[in-house]
Amino acid sequence: MKKFISFSLGVFALVAFVACEQAATEASATSGDPVLDAKVAGTPAVQTSADNTPKYNRPEYQVKAEAMARTNVDFVSDEYNFGQVESGDKVPHKFKFTNTGASDLVITNVKPSCGCTTPSYSTDPIAAGESGYIDVVFNSAGKTGVQNKTITVTGNFEGGITKVLRLTGEVLKKE
């Protein structure tokens, strides 16, 4: 048994070494052509913009958020601890925010870290001084133990186009 374990560890180390060497070779082999280099490195294809600078393909919701005037947004809280719930319970929560900037806020996408969390939000612009909500429902079915779920919100936020909201708590085994 010890020989088998030693052999297995040796094979694993060899495979890891070869993979690292191959990645290092590919990373150092740049041609200066961003499209060719992207293909070699396995990254998304690169396009050039009107001023001939490289422009990476990005999801439409990110491109839209980056193109808009930025605005400040204050969330009442960016984290919600739901405490303890039994497996199978659904936990709803509203993340309230206020547009404290001068431009309309447009939320272009809301993406949870897993399928157990379902968000909903308005795609209508939220005027300066107005408030809104991002509603989420965490479904604890099939879960147990400490939970830490994230919801990534994309919009025309000042300081970056994403905000991360968190749901935390503990799911107890149903009795």
**Domain boundary assignment for the chain:** 2-57, 70-172
Q: Which CATH class is domain 70-172?
A: mainly beta
pLDDT score of 122 more than 50: yes
Do 75 and 97 contact (CB within 8 A), yes or no?
yes
pLDDT score of 52 more than 80: no
**Residues 58-111: tens digit of each pLDDT:** 789 899 999 999 999 999 999 999 999 999 999 999 999 999 999 999 999 999
Note the pTM of the prediction, 2 decimals. 0.67
Do 96 and 131 contact (CB within 8 A), yes or no?
yes
Mean pLDDT of 5-17: 48
CA–CA gap between residue 152 and residue 23 (Å, rounded)? 30
pLDDT score of 160 more than 90: yes
Mean pLDDT of 136-154: 97
pLDDT at res. 175: 78
Query: What residues contact residue 76 under an 8 Å CB cut-off, 6+ apart?
Result: 95, 96, 97
Secondary structure class of 166 (helix, strand, coil): strand
